[in-house]
Chain A
Amino acid sequence: MKKIILTLILCFMLPSLLPAKKTFDIPAGWRAYTLETDAVTAQNAAPGGRVDILMGFDAVLKTGGSNYVVATILQRVLVIDTVRAEGKNGLVLMLAPDDAQYLLLAENENIKVVFRRPDDAAAGPIQVSVLSNLF
């Protein structure tokens, strides 16, 4: 009888004994978005840090054909946390719902996370870069 009672108690207690997943402190109106990155980026990121997101893609030209361009699509994005699972690394970012949709689209292309100073509040339009402009 004691064994049965003990087993039942253990069954109900087991979930609380397992390591709990983190709860993110997300303000109303914002979302926590998990973005896969390379290991180096994830190791250098810390909660509270700020990043910009760059995207490289083939832009279709009005004159026909396409040109590879790089654009800064998101600026001053807050890093909530870093995450690692099954050998993959990533960042948990705080985004507005509309920006989350755009980041999902960008993930389908080439993206790069670049770090910035947390106190650097500057944000504004950044010209799209094309290799031909460099020369």
Chain B
Amino acid sequence: MKKIILFAFCIFALAYAAMTQVPGLQVYDYEVDALNAAVLKPGDRVDVLQLVKIDGMVYARTSAQNAVVQEVSGGKITVKFDDKSKYLSVEREVLKTKIIVRNPGDGVTRDMNNVTLANLFR
């Protein structure tokens, strides 16, 4: 009897794990502030914004689009990408990370330019 229950549990656990996993390419952890973390939950579709310093200039960029939040642990957010994320391999001085929530059915991604404050007033 014990073996049957254990076997059933294993099958259930595997099925549960398969259901909660989203096919993806890479998993990344980001540190965000408490307020940002407070609105995020596993399964949310998100974009990852970052303030980066390149050659002394501060830019805002969208590092990843349409990622899926896997885990929220304090201020550490684990997200999984099922879309190409062209900036991920570029090591820069990241000043701040902000994760913004999007409509779960909105899978649209597009090229987002890095912007500076100067762009705002052009």
A residues in contact (CB < 8 Å) with B: 1, 4-5, 8, 12, 20-24, 26-34, 36, 57, 71, 73, 81, 83-86, 88-90, 92, 95, 97-98, 100-102, 104-109, 128
Contacts and interface: CB of A to CB of B under 8 A. Distances in A.
Interface of B: 1-2, 5, 9, 16, 33-41, 47, 49, 51, 58, 60-62, 95-96, 98, 100-103, 105-106, 108, 112, 115-117, 119-121
27 contacts: A4-B2, A20-B41, A26-B103, A30-B103, A32-B39, A33-B98, A33-B100, A34-B36, A34-B39, A36-B33, A85-B34, A85-B35, A88-B35, A92-B39, A97-B62, A101-B49, A101-B60, A102-B115, A102-B119, A102-B120, A104-B98, A105-B58, A105-B116, A106-B117, A107-B96, A107-B98, A108-B51
Top 7 closest A-B pairs, CB basis? A85-B38, A28-B106, A86-B34, A32-B101, A101-B60, A31-B100, A21-B41
A92 B44 CA distance: 15
Contacts, number: 111
B16 to A, nearest CB: 8
Contact of A104 (B16, B51, B106, B121): B51
A29 B106 contact: yes
Q: How would you classify the secondary structure of chain B's contact residues: helix, strand, loop or mixed? A: mixed
Contacts of B102: 26, 30-32
A108 B58 contact: yes
Contacts of A71: 120-121
A1 B35 contact: no
B112 A22 contact: no
B96 A83 contact: no
A28 to B, nearest CB: 4
Contacts of B37: 85
Contacts of A12: 16
